[in-house]
Chain A
Amino acid sequence: MSNNFNESISELKPDLSEARLRKRYRAETRFRIYGIAAILFAIGILALLLGSIITTGFSAFTQTEIALDIHYESTLFDPDGTGKFVPLSSGNYRKVVRKSLRDLFPEVTKRREKRSLYKIISSGADLSARKYLLSNPNSIEKTKRIWIKSSADIDSLNKGKIKRSVAESERRVKNNQILWFDKLSKENRVRRTFNFTLFSAGDSREPELAGIWGAAVGSFLTLIVTLALSFPVGVMAAVYLESFAPKNRWTDLIEVNINNLAAVPSIVFGLLGLAVFLNFLGMPRSAPVIGGTVLALMTLPTIIIAGRAALNAVPPSIQEAALAMGASPLQAVTHHVLPLAMPGILTGTIIGMARALGETAPLLMIGMVAFIVDIPKSFTDPATVLPVQVYLWADAPERAFVEKTSAAILVLLLFLIVMNLAAVILRKRFEKRW
């Protein structure tokens, strides 16, 4: 027996030879290199993605403008020449804008040429001219220099996205338009400014007039509905399941189902929304109410699971201490356990919300993939959301929408980063470790 024991000891004696040591060090170094390579690969892909979005999207934050000397004649508001004046808001501004453009290029006389001249400026130019007059009503019978948006094609030319070297027949901007543009440029009538429209307007068919504000407001309203529905229900479900529910086959079944729901593809929730909320309950189509409700269904399992994990992480001693001091089970939970679990629950909620913010598939079924110009004002107004706006612009044939698409993606990413950052900060600052 003792003999045997001695033998096994000698077998277990470590191999301390140089060669084996080197081999082990090498294995460790290799492992680290694999780890670093994996991280570098992930960072590289992310950098490539972000880089390509930023390089294409960045130029969308600026917009080319052209200065026009607009003469606001008073006949503008007297269309019939009868002395009956129409209100300032309904004057024929297109006429004055076009006239100011023609005055700059008196040599343009042919109808076809004039048409191509008018295409230098945006079709929303008359609105800019109107806006200026409405805020400066004393400009009537005066000539004012106003900066007007150029058309999307001229904007692309100015940004170098339409190349002058390409043959004229294959270029969206014709030679005479380039000549006119260069002349304007020489007279210091061209500038690039920050594109406020992108952040203040709703959707438009004209790239230079299109903005993401309508979609951002739609996203905001939708998320409020999602939060208002999924947070209370999710927290209550989590509290009940974690602290009050008996442990039996039924609660097990419910738990399995909640975990399964978290993995259901989002389009299924859209179909459910179409069948139940739209067709059965008759809720308004394309409105944030229904979008939010559908997304709430999708977010619920995430919140319940995160909530239960957070509640579970609070040590049982706290609840037991409260109960021992005479608190009722409800008081023990609402006064002690829930506040301590709140940071964890909120983190889960924010992550669920971030997922809901990026969702398009379920909204397709309930009519939120739509062209909507007006900015939604209430939960029942037709609205669209940011990722849907990205989808719609990516599908638009106009070339200038390419940069707009990337810009919208950047804004969406910014929102997501802010939300996820909030979740991280919440966790770091308020979460207690036991």
Chain B
Amino acid sequence: MYLKILSLTAVITVMVLGVAEARDQIRIVGSSTVFPFSTTVAEQFGKTTKFKTPIVESTGSGGGMKLFCAGVGQDHPDITNSSRRIKKSEFKKCTKAGIGITEVKIGFDGIVLGNSKKGPNLKLTRKQVFQALAAKVPVDGKIVENPYKKWNEINANLPNTKIEVLGPPPTSGTRDAFVEIAMEGGAKMFPSLKALRKSNKKQFKSVAHAIREDGAFIEAGENDNLIVQKLESNPAAVGIFGFSFLDQNADKMKGAYINGVAPEFENIAGGKYPVSRSLFFYVKQQHVGVIPGIKEFVKEFTSENAWGTEGYLVDKGLIPLPKKARQEMMVGARGMKTLVMK
């Protein structure tokens, strides 16, 4: 009796495993920052067309590229999202695998230094951000271990509170972008480091990209919601997170001015706010026409109804491209223009 049941279940399992069918659903992987936008379009696309709703995985920009460039065929994803531009090494890998890529820039994302409404108003420059967070900073012409413990030690106008910054871990695209734009940008403000950049780029990067590890910067995990919650209970701390989280929590959080510019929608869209990055997705051209619906999905994503200034993605926190850039991008994307990198 038991043996019969056992053998029966084993047979059923084998039968189940044997089934595999051709894919009729778009598969998307990549950045967790683009995830909310990609999923919104996917849902809308599934509702309004005869195609199935695409599957969107949140793997991170790097992880997505790895899957995307692995090859052509229905086991590999059709589209990858990225919160940074494709790297040359990734492009080479893709080309080697015989993949033609269409690049679509979808908009901007601002990275915000924010704190609780109960905390002090912060007006920072990129230089001060670097001074507060770098592992090594120049003091009187020499590069030394970061000596600053309080904000007002950097500049007397800043509040008399301990430097305590919660931010994402190195695996996060937000962290990459923050380091590249805010930290490196701040480091360049020092004449000594600027000179170093010209003479020894590698050494400059090792200084500009190293975040301090003496407790002033706390890695708070990939989850931006968690950072917002921690900031709420600790008004003295400052956090690094995406603009959409500031937008959704405007009653609890405020963003620090960077170089005199507030992290607001118009400022980021207009390119005035310095710490912002572009968001992309990449389409595998070999899959267009093979997996149904890719062209229509790209069309939906690049429609004014989605990524325009009054589109539904703006409600989700996307900061749209300027009108002209949108127009150009739309033509390129719908025509499946091939990305060329030298």
B250 touches A367 (CB 8 A): no
Chain B hits for A206, CB < 8 A: 43
Q: Is B140 an interface residue (CB 8 A)?
A: no
Residues A262-309 near B (CB distance < 8 A) = 282-286, 289, 293
A66 on the interface (CB 8 Å rule)?
no
B17 in contact with A289 (CB, 8 Å): yes
Interchain CB contact under 8 A, A397 and B58: no
For residue A334, CB closer than 8 A to chain B, the reply is yes
Q: Does B46 contact A (CB under 8 A)?
A: yes
- Cα of A396 to Cα of B242 in the assembled complex, Å: 12
B13-A225 in contact (CB<8A) = yes
Given A380-B21, A395-B223: A371 and B42 within 8 A (CB)? yes
Question: Is the contact region of chain B dominated by helix, strand, or loop, or is it mixed?
Answer: helix
A236 to B9, CA, bound (A): 13
Do A397 and B223 form a contact, CB below 8 Å, given A123-B312, A225-B16, A379-B19?
A: no
Query: Nearest Cβ in chain A — how far from B14, in angstroms?
Result: 10
Q: How far is the CB of A233 from chain B (nearest CB, A)?
A: 8
CA–CA, A399 and B228, complex, Å: 11
> Does the CB pair A395–B32 fall under 8 Å?
yes
Bound-state CA distance A370–B2 (Å) is 38
Say whether A397 contacts B9, CB under 8 Å: no
A232 touches B244 (CB 8 A): no
Assess A283 versus B17: contact at CB under 8 Å? Given A169-B250, A370-B56, A394-B223. yes
A229 within 8 A of B: yes
A374 within 8 A of B: yes
Q: Does the CB pair B55–A397 fall under 8 Å? A: no
Contact bitstring B3-29, A, C-beta under 8 A = 1, else 0? 100110110110011011100010100
B 317-330 binary contact with A (CB < 8 Å = 1; else 0):
10000000000000
* Measured CA separation A205–B313 after assembly (Å): 11
Q: A373 with B42: in contact, given A115-B310, A395-B225 (CB under 8 Å)?
A: yes
* Contact A172:B248 (CB < 8 A) given known A232-B6, A285-B75: yes
A123→B43 CA distance, assembly (Å): 11
Question: How far is A379 from B16 in the complex, measured between Cα atoms in Å?
Answer: 7
A282, B18: Cα distance in complex, Å: 11
Q: Mark A329-353, 1 if CB is under 8 A from B, else 0.
A: 0000010001100000000000000
- Segment of B33-41, B191-199, B212-220, B284-292 engaged in the interface with chain A: B33-41
> How many angstroms between the C-alpha atoms of A374 and B75 in the bound complex?
20
Tell whether A178 is near chain B: CB-to-CB under 8 Å. no
Q: Which A residues lie within 8 Å of B3 (CB)?
A: 334
Cα separation A396 to B226 with both chains bound (whole Å):
11
Is A127 in the interface zone, CB < 8 Å from B?
A: yes
CA distance A58 to B256 in the complex (A): 35
- List, in ascending order, chain A residues with CB within 8 A of B25's CB: 382
| Residue interface mask A388-407, B partner, CB < 8 A = 1 | 00001011111100100000
**Do A282 and B75 have beta carbons less than 8 Å apart?**
yes
**Cβ of B204 under 8 Å from chain A:** no
Q: A205-B39, A399-B249 are in contact. Are A380 and B57 (CB under 8 A)?
A: no
Bound together, the chains give a CA A399 to CA B249 distance in angstroms of 8
Q: Does the CB pair B224–A367 fall under 8 Å? A: no
Contact of B224 among A127, A338, A397, A402 (CB under 8 A): A397
Chain A window 368-380, contacts with chain B (Cβ cutoff 8 Å), 1 for yes, 0 for no = 0111111000111
Tell whether, in the assembled complex, residue B250 and residue A392 are in contact, meaning their CB atoms are under 8 Å apart: no
Q: Contacts A232-B6, A338-B2, A371-B56 given; indicate if A204 touches B43 (C-beta within 8 A).
A: yes
Residue among A228, A334, A398 making CB contact with B2, cutoff 8 Å: A334
- A169–B262 Cα distance when bound, in Å, is 14
B9, A228: Cβ atoms under 8 Å? yes
Judge whether A231 is part of the interface by a CB distance below 8 angstroms.
yes
Among B6, B25, B52, B57, the one with the most A-chain Cβ atoms within 10 Å of its Cβ is B57
Does residue B202 face the partner (Cβ distance < 8 Å to A)? no
Q: Smallest distance from the beta carbon of A317 to chain B beta carbons, Å?
A: 22
Determine how close the nearest CB of chain A comes to the CB of B15; give it in whole angstroms.
10
Contact of A131 with B by CB under 8 A: no
| In the bound complex, CA of A171 to CA of B12 (Å) | 55
With A and B bound together, what is the CA distance between A127 and B47 in angstroms? 9
Asked if A148 is at the interface (CB within 8 A of a chain B CB), the reply is no
Q: Which residues of A contact B21 (CB under 8 A)?
A: 380
In the bound complex, do residue B19 and residue A397 qualify as a contact, i.e. CB atoms below 8 Å apart?
Answer: no
Closest to A372 in B: B55
Is the beta-carbon distance between B39 and A380 smaller than 8 angstroms?
no
Instruction: Report if A235 contacts B (CB, 8 A).
Output: yes
B residues near A163, Cβ cutoff 8 Å: 251
> Provided the pairs A229-B13, A394-B225 are in contact, do residues A371 and B55 lie with their beta carbons within 8 angstroms?
yes
Given contacts A204-B43, A205-B39, A289-B16, contact A369 B58 (CB under 8 A): yes
With both chains docked as a complex, state the minimum distance between the C-beta of A316 and any C-beta of chain B, in angstroms: 21
- State in angstroms the CA–CA spacing of A9 and B158 once bound together: 81
State in angstroms the CA–CA spacing of A334 and B16 once bound together: 28
Which one of A162, A373, A382, A399 contacts B43 once the chains associate, using CB atoms below 8 Å?
Answer: A373
Report chain A residues within 8 Å CB of B10.
228, 232
B221, chain A: closest CB distance, angstroms: 10
Shortest distance between the CB of A332 and any CB in chain B (Å):
14
Q: How far is the CA of A158 from the CA of B9 in the complex (A)?
A: 51
Q: Which residue of B lies closest to A123 (CB)?
A: B312
User: Does B53 touch A at the CB level, under 8 Å?
Assistant: yes
Tell me if B162 is interfacial: C-beta within 8 Å of chain A. no
Q: Does A170 contact B (CB under 8 A)?
A: yes
B43-82: which have CB < 8 Å to A? 43, 46-47, 52-53, 55-58, 75
Q: Does B190 contact A (CB under 8 A)?
A: no
Contact of B9 among A231, A282, A395 (CB under 8 A): A231
CB distance from B174 to the nearest CB of A (A): 13
**Would you give the shortest CB distance from B2 to chain A, in whole angstroms?**
6
**How far in angstroms is the closest Cβ of chain B from A385?**
14
Cα distance, A127 to B44, chains bound together (Å): 12
Residue A253 is within 8 A (CB to CB) of chain B in the complex: no
Please give me the residue from chain A that is nearest to B39 by CB atom: A371
Interface bits A111-133 vs B (CB < 8 Å: 1, else 0): 00001000100010001000000
A166 in contact (CB, < 8 A): yes
Does B43 contact A205, Cβ atoms closer than 8 Å? yes
Give complex CA distance A378, B21 in Å: 12
> What distance in Å separates the Cβ of A214 from its nearest Cβ neighbour in chain B?
11
Q: How far is the CA of A236 from the CA of B317 in the complex (A)?
A: 55
For the complex, give the distance between the alpha carbons of A398 and B244 in Å: 9
What are 12 pairs between A and B in contact, CB < 8 Å? A127-B47, A172-B250, A205-B316, A225-B13, A373-B43, A373-B46, A380-B21, A392-B58, A395-B225, A397-B36, A397-B247, A397-B316
> Sorted from nearest, which 3 A-B pairs have the closest CB atoms?
A371-B56, A373-B53, A371-B39
Q: Which residues of B contact A (CB under 8 A)?
A: 2-3, 6-7, 9-10, 12-13, 16-17, 19-21, 25, 27, 32, 35-36, 38-40, 42-43, 46-47, 52-53, 55-58, 75, 222-225, 242, 244-245, 247-251, 310, 312, 315-317
